[in-house]
Amino acid sequence: MGEGRPKPWEALYPPGLDWGAPIATTPLPDFLAEAVATHRGRFAFEFNDRRLTFEAFGDAVAQAARGLATLGVKPGTRVALYLPNLPYHPLAFFAVLAAGGIVVHLSPLDAIRTLAYKIGDSGAEILITTNLPPLLTNAARLKEEGKVSYLVVGRADAWGPLGVDLASLPEGAIDFADLARLGQGVALPPSPDVEDVAVLQYTGGTTGLPKAAMLTHANLTAACEIYRLWQTHQSGPAREGDKIIGVLPYFHIYALTNVLLRGLQSGTEQLLRLRFDVATTLRDIAEKRATHFPGVPTMWIALANHPDIARIDISSLRAVGSGGAPLPQEVAAKLESLTGLKLGGGWGMTETSPAGTAILPGQTYEAGLIGVPLPGIDMDVVALDDPRRVLPPREVGEIRVRGPNVTRGYWNKPEETEKSFVDGWLLTGDVGYMDEKGQFYLVDRKKDMIISGGFNVYPTMIENAIYEHPDVAEVIVVGIPDAYRGQSAKAYIRLREGAKPFTLEELNAFLADKLGRHELPRALEFRDTLPRTPVGKLSRRDLIEDEKRRGAWPETKGG
């Protein structure tokens, strides 16, 4: 199918929005420079009631970048960020890029072994974290074990007291505040090429080990421009005084693009929050007059269930969104009645930075609907047994995508890259169909990934950790419905001969240092035998069907 093939979804676009509009791209240091020049006196960030202007942020980034250059950061150097939503994240993110480096995102939810794997796989030489005890404990251990050459630590209370215990900086660590002094007089390199890799963003691998999508400066800024075009027609252009609640983690691709980068581009003040708290979020809306709040279903469920929600002034909100996992329809309906706003939704993935599709403005959500491709993004559906055979409307197959926002492949994983692309199209691993109007629907996941509370959870990684238990002979992990998280992991275990069953609590205590909290199983079942495929492999699919027959899993609609 060529570039000129019909794109039926164009007819559904809001008036004035052109699917073929030019998608501008730029190196991210230039992207920031333009934002600072445009919005210089506006506030860029607020954290702990302290505010930072665009101009002050731009100056702080340049100072930190020069300091990082003295530690050896130059074009191509990988620097790992192990940070929650503190101001250090955006500062470090742009400082690494301004020094010519590549950002490697680590999750504060990762177990120590996962952190070590990602650092080793990426070749990161410097680790930047904060002195919150769980993070600094892990970071110091990684430095002691020689995984990185330098450890840079930002003091979490630099923006006022947090009311939590903070750890002392370990010997040999560099205080983030000292980067400005270290870098005095140091020259920064020219801006990178737009096609240079900017971020290594980890996602799941078919082997159970994470793989890093190589996201270029062009990928990320293209995604920003794609979202800008769509959002301008959905909720209107950005206004002076706009504020967005930045509680979704910036190390995750959704918040990185939709909150951090889009916020800077539009001049929107970002209310940085370490963690989600209902009372704080409602204060941000009622008192600080937040205008935008992108969340995940667990957040919206908690807000909808707050006893005072109907009495709180939430009239400042102009745009709300829910992503990461399906939102229960009754919750969406309640929130719509409270706010007068429809919760926007859609589909995207790490590899698409994460722009993909969006539900049309004002459209009522229906099961499986993910909407239409965003400007500049091409999608179709191909046969599961032939990724070059494009299927007609309503025929179910694998969704393919291409566009300026799509990664060119996986870091140091040529085999994974080759399997994931065909003729310039990314095979998404999602099974679905397109209707006659050009709207896309998801039916199932080709891969067995679990989405729990908006985070990707990979069954193979959980299984590998459970196999370390001395009493486990075989294990299969599947995702099961969870009213709060969307999905959670359930472990089916066959014990070794003579071993005694253990409780879920005992299993999770064993797994505590091997998995992140979001990965721990929420259900456990012992079986004398586990199902197998005709070729003898353990079968997750049979167990999912068992759950469906029990009525524990709602039937998927669509197709």
Burial of 315 (0-12, 13-18, 19+ CB in 10 A): exposed
Sign of torsion, CA 404 405 411 416?
negative
Q: What is the pLDDT of residue 234?
A: 77
Q: What is the pLDDT of residue 330?
A: 72
Is residue 281 in a domain?
Answer: yes
What are the tens digits of pLDDT across the range 66-90? Answer: 999 999 999 999 999 999 999 999 9
Q: Are 172 and 241 contained in the same domain?
A: no
CB 381 within 8 A of CB 398: yes
CB 114 within 8 A of CB 138: no
Output b/e per residue, 295-304; b: 16+ Cβ within 10 A.
bbbbbbbbbb
CATH code of the domain covering residue 118: 3.40.50.980
Answer yes or no: is pLDDT of 296 > 90.
no
Q: What is the DSSP letter of 344?
A: B
Q: How far apart are CA 136 and CA 138, in angstroms?
A: 5
Is residue 199 in a domain?
Answer: no
Q: What is the pLDDT of residue 559?
A: 22
Q: Are 37 and 132 contained in the same domain?
A: yes
* Structural tokens at position 548: 């469906």
Residue 459 is part of which domain span? 450-549
Sequence-ordered list of residues with C-beta below 8 angstroms from that of 505, at least 6 positions apart, any chain: none
Determine how many CB atoms are found less than 10 A away from the CB of residue 14: 12
The DSSP result for 136-168, as a single string, is: HHHHHHHHHTTS-SEEEEE-GGGGS--SS--PP
Q: Are 476 and 354 contained in the same domain?
A: no
Answer yes or no: is pLDDT of 452 > 90.
no
Range of lowest pLDDT (291-305, 425-439, 527-541): 527-541
Q: Are 280 and 389 contained in the same domain?
A: yes
Side by side, which strands form the sheet with 150-154?
174-175, 150-154, 126-130, 78-81, 102-105, 197-203, 211-216
* Structural tokens at position 269: 């003040």
Q: How far apart are CA 111 and CA 148, in angstroms?
A: 17
Q: Are 68 and 92 contained in the same domain?
A: yes
CATH code of the domain covering residue 514: 3.30.300.30
Q: What is the helix, strand, coil percentage profile of the chain, to 5?
A: 35, 25, 45
Decide which of 445, 464, 496 is a domain's last residue.
445
Sequence-ordered list of residues with C-beta below 8 angstroms from that of 305, at least 6 positions apart, any chain: none
Q: Which of 84, 57, 87, 46 is nearest to 242 (CA)?
A: 46
| pTM of the full structure | 0.86
CA 72 remoteness from chain centre: 29
Q: What is the pLDDT of residue 533?
A: 65
Answer yes or no: is pLDDT of 535 > 60.
no
Q: How far apart are CA 110 and CA 139, in angstroms?
A: 12
Q: Are 137 and 42 contained in the same domain?
A: yes
Q: Which of 266, 221, 229 is nearest to 375 (CA)?
A: 229
Is residue 209 in a domain?
Answer: no
* Structural tokens at position 286: 């009622």
CATH code of the domain covering residue 315: 3.40.50.12780
Number of domains comprising the chain: 3
Determine how many CB atoms are found less than 10 A away from the CB of residue 107: 21
Q: Are 402 and 437 contained in the same domain?
A: yes
Q: How far apart are CA 368 and CA 221, in angstroms?
A: 29
User: Phi and psi for 377 in degrees, rounded to 5?
Assistant: -105, 125
Is residue 270 in a domain?
Answer: yes
Helix or strand run (H / E) with residue 380: strand 378-383
Q: How far apart are CA 141 and CA 122, in angstroms?
A: 18
Side chain identity at 529, as an amino acid letter? Answer: T
Decide which of 445, 479, 514 is a domain's last residue.
445
Q: Are 309 and 168 contained in the same domain?
A: no
Q: Are 16 and 56 contained in the same domain?
A: no
Decide which of 411, 429, 445 is a domain's last residue.
445
pLDDT > 70: percent of the chain: 94
Average pLDDT, the chain: 91
Angle among Cα 352, 354, 357 to the nearest 5 degrees reads 90
Is residue 138 in a domain?
Answer: yes
What are the tens digits of pLDDT across the range 234-255? Answer: 777 889 999 999 999 999 999 9
Q: What is the pLDDT of residue 138?
A: 97
Q: Which of 85, 452, 478 is nearest to 297 (CA)?
A: 452
What are the tens digits of pLDDT across the range 45-68? Answer: 999 999 999 999 999 999 999 999
Q: Which of 90, 155, 151 is nearest to 124 (CA)?
A: 151
What are the tens digits of pLDDT across the range 198-221? Answer: 999 999 755 568 999 999 999 999
Q: Are 43 and 73 contained in the same domain?
A: yes
Q: How far apart are CA 489 and CA 479, in angstroms?
A: 5
* Structural tokens at position 471: 């009493």
Is residue 559 in a domain?
Answer: no
Helix or strand run (H / E) with residue 43: strand 43-47
What are the tens digits of pLDDT across the range 317-354? Answer: 998 988 766 666 677 888 888 888 888 788 999 999 99
Torsion angle of the four alpha carbons 282, 107, 102, 67, in this order, in degrees rounded to the nearest 10: 70
Residue 492's pLDDT band (cuts 50, 70, 90): very high
Q: Are 508 and 375 contained in the same domain?
A: no
Is residue 239 in a domain?
Answer: yes
Is residue 1 in a domain?
Answer: no
User: Which among 40-44, 298-302, 453-457 has the top mean pLDDT?
Assistant: 40-44
Q: Are 308 and 405 contained in the same domain?
A: yes
Q: Which of 396, 519, 378 is nearest to 446 (CA)?
A: 396
* Structural tokens at position 175: 């205080």
* Structural tokens at position 348: 């995207």
Alpha helices in 14-110 (DSSP H): 28-39, 54-70, 88-98
Determine how many CB atoms are found less than 10 A away from the CB of residue 437: 12
What are the tens digits of pLDDT across the range 270-289? Answer: 999 999 999 999 999 999 99
